[in-house]
């Protein structure tokens, strides 16, 4: 479990794809303290497990499922990534409860300056937008953010200077992809109401060209 408060930006050293699977090695510094083998770490919002480490880098295995629902496969040597170690329950939760289970990939559709903030507009898949509300929480590439506005195609957020400086969101431009995780609370409320018959069941996923594009598989 995470809070969506990025501890540092690391850099991809190596992304290895083979018949045995995908392995990602990341250069880091701040998160290396108290990061044993077997620990969970959020990489651009995806919860991954450390399988190897030394003083300056760590390695994680990436499952086919994670490759299919995130943009991790688009990373390359030198790509910056947002990093956060699993949170401790005896500390303040500065963001919101984040599972590190990415729901889908969104795309930056707009970027504009608004006083000291950068307003980013994202296009998002319907299975993410269904849980988005104005002033609600969402995780974008592992960063806990407050939603400004929601439309039938996406949502917008305001990025303060500190967040722009210490996360990859300050680098995002129109056309860039991001990993999205909806607020956990909305998912549990929906499931509870469905079980009570107070909501229709979630629609079946139709695997077509549009679906594959949204998942980054085309």
**Residue 186 belongs to a domain:** yes
- The token duo for 150 is 């929601």
**Shared domain check, 125 and 76:** no
Q: What is the pLDDT of residue 10?
A: 98
Q: Which of 1-5, 62-66, 88-92, 148-152 has the lowest mean pLDDT?
A: 88-92
- The token duo for 35 is 């990061």
Q: What is the CA 120 to chain-centroid distance, rounded?
A: 15
**Shared domain check, 192 and 131:** yes
**Shared domain check, 205 and 140:** yes
**Shared domain check, 53 and 125:** no
**Residue 97 belongs to a domain:** no
Q: What is the pLDDT of residue 181?
A: 97
Phi/psi at 189 (5° precision): -65, -45
Q: What is the pLDDT of residue 158?
A: 97
Q: What is the pLDDT of residue 18?
A: 85
Residues 50-66 pLDDT 10s: 999 999 999 999 999 99
Question: What span, in angstroms and rounded, lies between the C-alpha atoms of 174 and 46?
Answer: 22
The CATH number linked to 23 is 2.40.30.20
Q: Mean pLDDT, the chain, as a whole number?
A: 91
| Number of domains forming the structure of the chain | 2
Residue range(s) defining the domain that contains residue 115: 104-214
**Shared domain check, 122 and 81:** no
Q: What is the CA 126 to chain-centroid distance, rounded?
A: 16
Question: What span, in angstroms and rounded, lies between the C-alpha atoms of 210 and 218?
Answer: 9
Close Cβ partners of 95 (under 8 Å, ≥ 6 residues apart) = 3, 4, 5, 137, 143, 144
DSSP state of 11: E
Q: How confident is the model at residue 204 (pLDDT cuts 50, 70, 90)?
A: low
Close Cβ partners of 206 (under 8 Å, ≥ 6 residues apart) = none
Identify the CA nearest to 74 among candidates 188, 177, 154: 177
**Shared domain check, 119 and 17:** no
Where is the domain boundary, 54, 85, 116?
A: 85
- Cβ atoms of 35 and 41 within 8 Å: the answer is yes
Q: What is the pLDDT of residue 185?
A: 87
**What would the mean pLDDT of 152-175 be, rounded to a whole number?**
97
**Shared domain check, 108 and 78:** no
Q: How confident is the model at residue 111 (pLDDT cuts 50, 70, 90)?
A: very high
Cβ atoms within 10 Å, residue 149? 13
**Residue 33 belongs to a domain:** yes
Query: Which has the higher per-residue pLDDT, 104 or 193?
Result: 104
Residues 14-34 pLDDT 10s: 999 888 789 999 999 999 999
**Residue 78 belongs to a domain:** yes
- The token duo for 186 is 């909305």
Question: What span, in angstroms and rounded, lies between the C-alpha atoms of 187 and 184?
Answer: 5
Q: What is the pLDDT of residue 189?
A: 84
Whole-structure pTM value: 0.86
**Residue 80 belongs to a domain:** yes
**Shared domain check, 79 and 152:** no
**Shared domain check, 120 and 24:** no
**Shared domain check, 209 and 156:** yes
**Shared domain check, 200 and 141:** yes
Strands 80-85 and 57-62: unpaired
């Amino acid at each position: 479990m995470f809070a969506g408060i990025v501890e540092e930006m690391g850099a991809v050293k190596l992304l290895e794809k083979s018949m045995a699977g995908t392995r990602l090695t990341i250069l880091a510094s701040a998160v290396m303290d108290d990061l044993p083998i077997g620990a969970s770490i959020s990489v651009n919002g995806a919860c991954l497990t450390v399988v190897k480490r030394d003083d300056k880098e760590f390695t994680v295995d990436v499952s086919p499922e994670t490759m299919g629902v995130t943009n991790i496969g688009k990373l390359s040597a030198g790509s910056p990534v947002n990093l956060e170690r699993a949170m401790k329950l005896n500390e303040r939760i500065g963001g919101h409860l984040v599972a590190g289970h990415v729901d889908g990939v969104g795309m930056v559709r707009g970027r504009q300056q608004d006083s000291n903030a950068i307003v980013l507009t994202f296009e998002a898949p319907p299975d993410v937008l269904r849980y988005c509300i104005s002033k609600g929480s969402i995780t974008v590439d592992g960063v806990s953010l407050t939603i400004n506005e929601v439309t039938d195609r996406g949502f917008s957020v305001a990025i303060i200077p500190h967040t722009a400086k210490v996360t990859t969101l300050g680098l995002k431009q129109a056309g860039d992809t991001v990993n999205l995780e909806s607020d956990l609370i909305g998912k549990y409320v929906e499931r509870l109401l469905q079980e009570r018959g107070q909501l229709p069941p979630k629609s079946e996923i139709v695997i077509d060209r549009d679906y594959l594009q949204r998942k980054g598989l085309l």
